[in-house]
Amino acid sequence: MIEIREEVIKAEDRIRNFIRETPINYSTYLSREGSCEVFLKLENLQITGAFKLRGAANKLLSLSEDEKRSGVVTASSGNHGCATAYMMRKIGIDGEIFLPENVSRTKLEALRLYGAKIKFHGDDCVKTETFARESARKSGRIFIPPYNDLMIVSGQGTIGFELEKELENIDVVLAAVGGGGLISGIGGYLKSQKRDVRIIGCQPENSAVMYESIKAGKVVDIESKTTLSDGTAGGIEEGSITFDLCKEFVDDFILVTEDEIRDAILVILEREHLLIEGAAALTVASFLKFRDRWNGMRVVLIISGGNIGIDRLKSIIC
């Protein structure tokens, strides 16, 4: 059995000087809407603009000196790539980042800003990741997974460490789910001490692979449609540790439509004066979809990132 809490505590110590402890803001508007207390964990204010820096930092800093010298390879739809590129430059590791051909322009430009060596392959995260992993194997380099790795999961779990330190009596945490690394780390850490905290996974209806896999009892290969939540889109690697972790720690899933995601982005922009990406809006959309469910509770919404392109933002506003 994986001891998530122990690994998260190690990760917290390892990465603390490389990441930002993000704010936890009380939302007056959302609290009123749900007749409860709502707190926003603002990972959109993380360095590189998303929670992914935590996992990437933990993985890269855990490598041996020989592994660091050999270089690394990763695959990403954007945020994990940016996080890995930032850390590679920060600690002097060479490597390549493989992207799907449909990556957003904003995230591509961010990667180039960090000086990353970029290659493209495939139109789905799983295809890109499989190709990148094989490239790493052939070249003798270390593969840095976006989610399917204990060091990645425990790095993301440091969000749970910060929540526990700063906020008492949490009843429920809502987090976006793609590959499952974020919610596995947070859920695994918090539930190790407070078994009654509810962990809710949030996915777009257009790409609900983890939800369908949990329902089927195995990782399923289903088509993902286009979604504003591009950071969670795509399939799950067969045999991923996050599948079993999600089965153990996620109490329920909520699926939301594209219109609900769009409305949530606008709500946060207008009411909280914060810019968030589609994946981050999943928790807000899920909360608002079932606003009567949270009466009297203390609710945390993980705002996972803020890397949204100006063209996409214009299409949402107009």
Three-state SS string over 154-181 comes to HHHCHHHHHHHHHCCCCCEEEEECCCCH
The packing angle between helices 241-249 and 209-216, to 10°, is 80
Per DSSP, 18 falls in state G
Residue 40 — φ and ψ, nearest 5°? -105, 120
Dist CA 112 CA 97 (whole Å): 11
Amino acid at position 288, single letter: L
Dist CA 134 CA 32 (whole Å): 50
* The two domains 4-47+151-317 and 53-148 share their CATH topology (first three levels equal): yes
Q: Among all chains, which residue has been given the structure tokens 């591509």?
A: 108
For the domain bounded by 53-148, which CATH number is listed? 3.40.50.1100
Architecture of the 4-47+151-317 domain: 3-Layer(aba) Sandwich (3.40)
| pTM of the entire predicted model | 0.95
pLDDT in tens, the chain (318 residues): 578 999 999 999 999 999 999 999 999 999 999 999 999 999 999 999 999 999 999 999 999 999 999 999 998 868 999 999 999 999 999 999 998 888 777 778 888 888 889 999 988 777 888 899 999 999 999 999 999 999 999 999 999 999 999 999 999 999 999 999 999 999 999 999 877 999 999 999 999 999 999 999 999 999 889 999 988 988 898 899 999 999 999 999 999 999 999 999 999 999 999 999 999 999 999 999 999 999 999 999 999 999 998 888 999 998
Per DSSP, 14 falls in state H
Residues 254 and 286 sit within 8 Å (Cβ to Cβ): yes
Residues 124 and 234 sit within 8 Å (Cβ to Cβ): yes
Domain ranges of the chain: 4-47+151-317, 53-148
Sign of CA dihedral 250, 200, 204, 229: negative
Of 170, 196, 195, 173, the residue nearest 186 (C-alpha): 173
Calculate the CA 298 to chain-centre distance.
22
Per DSSP, 50 falls in state B
Residues 157 and 190 sit within 8 Å (Cβ to Cβ): no
